Structure 1
Amino acid sequence: MKKTFVLVVLFILPLVAYLFFASGVNNFGRLPTLTEGVSDLQALDTDVRLQDKITILGFLGRDAAIRKGNAFNLNQKIYKRFYEFRDFQVVMVMPKGTENIAREIQDELSELTDTSNWQFVFGEDSVIEVLFASLRSDLELDQGLGTPYVFIIDKERNLRGRKEDEDEGTKYGFNTNSVAELNNKMEDDVKIILAEYRLALKKNNAQRQN
Structure 2
Amino acid sequence: MKKKLVLFVLFVLPIVAYLFFASGVNNFTKLPVVTANVPELPSGWSALNGQRVSLDGKITVLGFSGQNVLKNRGNLYNVYQRVYERYHEFNDLQFVYVSPIGTERDATYILAQFKGVAKAGNWHFVFATPEEINAYYAQLKLKGKLNADVGTSNVYLLDKKRNLRGRQGDEYKEGYDSFHISELSNKMLDDFKVLLYEYKAALKKNNNASKSITREK
TM range (shorter): 0.7 to 0.9
Cα deviation for residue 23 of structure 1 reads 10
Residues matched between the structures, number: 188
Which deviates the most, 143-152 or 131-140?
Answer: 131-140
Offset of residue 127 of structure 1? 1.7
SS at match of 2:127: strand
Deviation at 1:116, TM superposition (A): 2.2
44 and 150 in structure 1: CA distance in 2 versus 1, 3 angstrom threshold: farther
* Counterpart residue number, 2:32: 32
How does 1:38-187 map onto structure 2 within 5 Å?
Answer: 38-46=38-46, 47-110=52-115, 115-164=120-169, 169-187=171-189
Change (3 A) 1:163 1:22: closer
Residue 211 of structure 2 aligns with which residue? 209
SS in 1 for 2:204: helix
TM-score (norm 2): 0.80
Cα contact 2:111–2:117 (8 A) shared by 1: no
Q: How far apart, CA to CA, are the structure 1 residues paired with 2:189 and 2:130?
A: 30
Gaps of 5+ in 2: 1-16, 47-51, 213-217
Amino acid at match of 2:40: D
Cα distance in 1, alignment partners of residues 25 and 131 from structure 2: 44
Question: Structure 1 residues 24 and 69 mapped into 2: Cα distance closer, same or farther (>3 Å)?
Answer: closer
What secondary structure, in the 3-state scheme, does the structure 2 residue paired with 1:92 have?
strand
- Please state how far the C-alpha of 1:76 moved relative to its aligned partner: 0.5
Following superposition, the deviation at residue 135 of structure 1 comes to 1.3
Other structure's SS at 1:65 match: coil
Q: CA deviation at 1:179?
A: 0.4
- Provide the identity percentage: 39
CA contact (8 A) 1:57 1:152 kept: yes
Radius of gyration: which is bigger?
Answer: 2
**How far apart, in 1, do the equivalents of 2:154 and 2:120 lie?**
20
Q: Distance in 2 between matches of 1:158 and 1:106?
A: 27
Are the counterparts in 2 of residues 43 and 127 from structure 1 also a CA contact under 8 Å?
no
Three-state SS of the structure 2 residue aligned to 1:94 is strand
Query: Cα distance, 1:81 vs. partner?
Result: 1.1
Q: Bigger shift: 125-134 or 92-101?
A: 125-134
Of stretches 155-164 and 109-118 in structure 1, the one that deviates more from structure 2 is: 109-118
Aligned match of 1:195 in 184, 197, 205? 197
Does the Cα contact within 8 Å between 2:167 and 2:174 map onto a contact in 1?
A: yes
Give 1:149 shift. 0.3
Distance 1:65 1:194, change over 3 A: same
1:7-51 deviation digits (Å, cap 9, x = unpaired) = xxxxxxxxx9xx9689963x31x1000101111112442211111
Quick one: which amino acid aligns to residue 76 of structure 1? Q
Distance across 1 between alignment mates of 2:58 and 2:117? 23
Deviation at 1:113, TM superposition (A): 8.9
TM-align CA RMSD: 2.2
Q: What residue identity is the alignment partner of 1:37?
A: N
Secondary structure of 1:121's partner? strand
Cα deviation, 1:106-148, whole Å, max 9, x if unaligned, reads: 0011268965211111012222112211211111111111100
Where do residues 14-33 of structure 1 align in structure 2 (5 Å cutoff)?
25=27, 27-28=28-29, 30-33=30-33
- The 2-side partners of 1:197 and 1:34 are apart by 18
For 2:189 and 2:107, the matched residues in 1 are separated by: 24
